[in-house]
């Protein structure tokens, strides 16, 4: 049974760095073809893909945010991480992590999401 759960600071101030953790079970990020992605959704708006990390440590970023994003993983502890530097109010959103597989390249399991508010 695949599960994912996001955790984060809840609220932070503009210019700070947002650190998010995705803790998952039911699969391994050391298995060929497995990956974890981060997607966010401002309240009442659509989905925006942020970054993917793969079993072989390949990383891909949304070009419009690339300079601010860092994705990483801890395979032994079944966790993936996302850092966003220099946040502002536009980064206020629910952040999801999701499993992605090489076959299909779609997000087949999603976490419940974690709400992050950027406010002074």
Partner 1 sequence: DIQMTQSPASLSASLEEIVTITCQASQNIGNWLAWYQQKPGKSPQLLIYGTTSLADGVPSRFSGSRSGTQYSLKISRLQVEDIGIYYCQQASSTPTFGGGTKLELK
Three-state SS letters, 58-118: CEEECCCCHHHEEEEEEHHHCEEEEEECCCCHHHCEEEEEEEEECCCCCEEEECCCEEEEE
Q: Does 8 bind partner 1 (CB under 8 A)?
A: no
Which of these segments, 20-28, 47-55, 74-82, 84-92, binds partner 1 (CB under 8 A)?
47-55
Half-sphere exposure of 29 (CA within 13 A, CB side): 28
The neighbouring-strand residues paired with 101 are 34
- Which residue in the set 22, 52, 78, 80 belongs to the binding site for partner 1 (CB under 8 A)? 52
Number of residues located near partner 1, criterion CB under 8 A: 23
Q: Does 7 bind partner 1 (CB under 8 A)?
A: no
Provide the pairing of β-strand 114-118 with 69-74. Answer: unpaired
To partner 1, the closest distance from the beta carbon of 37 in angstroms equals 7
Q: Does 10 bind partner 1 (CB under 8 A)?
A: no
Contact positions vs partner 1 (CB under 8 A): 37, 39, 46-49, 52, 60-64, 96, 104-113
């Amino acid at each position: 049974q695949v599960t994912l759960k996001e955790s984060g600071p809840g609220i932070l101030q503009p210019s700070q760095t947002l650190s998010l953790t995705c803790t998952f079970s039911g699969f391994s990020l050391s298995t060929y073809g497995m990956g974890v992605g981060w997607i966010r959704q401002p309240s009442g708006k659509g989905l925006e893909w942020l970054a993917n990390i793969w079993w072989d440590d390949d990383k891909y970023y949304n070009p419009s945010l690339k300079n601010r994003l860092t994705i990483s993983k801890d395979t032994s502890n079944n966790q993936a991480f996302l850092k966003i530097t220099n946040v502002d109010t536009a980064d206020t959103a629910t952040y999801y992590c999701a499993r992605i597989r090489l076959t299909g390249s779609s997000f087949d399991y999603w976490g419940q999401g974690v709400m992050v508010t950027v406010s002074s």
